[in-house]
Amino acid sequence: MTVAPPSAWHVVERVWSYRGEERANLMRILAIACFYAIELVNRHGLNLGFIEFPPVEGVDERFHAAVTALAVAWVASALGVLIMMRSRRFPTTLKYITTTVDVVLLTSILLIADGPRSPLVITYFIILAAAPLRFSAGLVRYTALATIVGYVVLVGDAWLRRPETRVPRYQQLMTILALALAGLALVYLMKMLREAAEAYAARREAP
């Protein structure tokens, strides 16, 4: 039986996780740009003639200032990752750090926004979807857990501090379940990817 030696897999994993981290960072910056543009439209309103976006009630100056500060922190961290990776610094822990920063900053934004009621909650799924780009089942598991913890923090905050942002219990359970199942599917994807690569290598070596 011939399988690819682990060192070969290690090299592949490192190379592809580098490219994945790069792509995830690009996605991160683009996403912040788009979501901040939406926030600006909510704040100031936008009238294009054929379509109009009125300013959203409740987007006051304090909220806008806090979102602006968090967007700056997020872009700055993405630029930091960009500079770090481009100067050949790519520790294996980087993917865990960037994911943690993403979850913490998203949870912070949601804590000052509408909490579990906010449509931004779906962004947890975007963070989860970007995890497999780093070619690591461990990271996918970690991300699923981290996003669930982030959501539970929101639910707890709504329960203790801001009853107006509460959502029904079934909605909480469905969101947590969906995050867990999406994470499970992605962990399987990671495992199958590796098995497929090894099977392919074995087939190529076979006479």
Partner 1 sequence: MSAGLCASCGSDPAPGASFCWLCGYPLGAGAAPVARIAQASPAAGIGWVVAFVVALFVLSGVGLELAFLWPGLLIPYAAALVPVLVVMTRILYVQRFDFWEGSKSGPAAAASSGAALAPAQPASGATREAPDGSSDVVAKVVTTVAVGMAGTAIAIGLLMLLAVAAFVFLVAICFAAILVLGH
> Which residue number, 78 or 182, has a Cβ lying nearer to partner 1?
78
Determine contact, residues 32/101, Cβ cutoff 8 Å: no
How far apart are CB 162 and partner 1 at their closest, in Å?
Answer: 24
How far apart are CB 59 and partner 1 at their closest, in Å?
Answer: 13
Query: How many residues are given for the chain?
Result: 207
Determine contact, residues 122/114, Cβ cutoff 8 Å: no
Residues of the shown chain interacting with partner 1 in the complex, contacts defined by CB under 8 A = 7-8, 10-12, 14-15, 18-19, 22-23, 25-26, 29-30, 32-33, 36-37, 40, 61, 64-65, 68, 71-72, 75-76, 78-79, 82-83, 85-90
How far apart are CB 19 and partner 1 at their closest, in Å?
Answer: 7
> Which residue number, 23 or 191, has a Cβ lying nearer to partner 1?
23
Burial degree of 177 (CB within 10 A; 0-12, 13-18, 19+)? exposed
Spatial separation of the C-alpha atoms in residues 73 and 48, rounded to whole Å: 31
The alpha-carbon radius of gyration of the chain (Å, integer) is 20
Q: Which amino acid is at 182?
A: A
> Which residue number, 160 or 206, has a Cβ lying nearer to partner 1?
206
What count of Cα atoms within 13 Å lies in the side-chain half-sphere of residue 122?
Answer: 3
How far apart are CB 54 and partner 1 at their closest, in Å?
Answer: 19
The DSSP output letter for 119 is: G
> Which residue number, 22 or 157, has a Cβ lying nearer to partner 1?
22
How far apart are CB 130 and partner 1 at their closest, in Å?
Answer: 14
Bridge partners (DSSP) of residue 144 are: none
> Which residue number, 21 or 147, has a Cβ lying nearer to partner 1?
21
